Amino acid sequence: MKKFNIPHNFEFTSIITLYAQWIREGKLKVNSDWNRDLKIKFTLQDPCNIVRKTWGELMADDLRFVIKTIVGEENFVDMIPCGTNNFCCGGGGGALQAGLPEQRRAYGKVKFDQIIKTGANYVFAPCHNCHGQMEDIGEFYGGNYHVVHIWTIMCLAMGVLGENERAYLGPDLAKVGL
């Protein structure tokens, strides 16, 4: 909208910002008790679009605050590099639909290696492009990680995740909180 100078009367925000705000305000009562004994490890893909290209460090911090709240600080492993310097998944900018799968996957190898290095079982993907790309390269290069939305784990942590809402969870979480 800035690019085209379209006047508008509303402001833009991200759901992540709201999650963080609601947790801080105590509106969103969520914690990581469910994972205290399970100790399932999570990592996070910083989507270029909302982190590096839009909200920067603030978004990177909010993402980590939200995720550490729902999985436990000790169960969160950052990629190297992370935050505003994280690598793109390789699926962004339309690449997923650009018809160049060989190059897209070669690009994604960097992301795949990053994920594997963390040793995490789950990768949070707060972006649908990242989600799709990381699932694809995980399968292509033989990674045994799962890609999840934040809302899935948040509902899991609050014990409100339905049985039919677990398509992206692995067997280790299939029954947790039911």
19 scored as a contact of another protein (CB under 8 A): yes
* Least Cβ distance, residue 100 to another protein (angstroms): 6
* Least Cβ distance, residue 38 to another protein (angstroms): 19
Nearer to another protein, 43 or 129 (CB): 129
* Of residues 131, 143, 137, 142, the one with CA closest to residue 167: 131
**Residues ≥6 apart with Cβ < 8 Å to 80:** 114, 117
Nearer to another protein, 37 or 128 (CB): 128
1 scored as a contact of another protein (CB under 8 A): yes
What is each CA distance from 65 to 52, 89, 109, in whole angstroms?
17, 22, 28
User: Can you name the residues that pair with 124 across neighbouring β-strands?
Assistant: 44, 148
* Region from 7-15, 35-43, 135-143, 170-178 binding another protein, contact rule CB under 8 A: 7-15
Q: Which of residues 77-116 bind another protein (CB under 8 A)?
A: 80-81, 83-85, 87-100, 103-104, 106-111
66 scored as a contact of another protein (CB under 8 A): no
* Least Cβ distance, residue 20 to another protein (angstroms): 12
With the C-alpha atoms ordered 158, 164, 170, 174, is the resulting torsion angle positive or negative?
Answer: positive
72 scored as a contact of another protein (CB under 8 A): no
| Cα-based torsion angle of the residue sequence 72, 77, 82, 88 in order, rounded to the nearest 10 degrees | -100
φ, ψ (nearest 5 deg) of residue 47: -65, 130
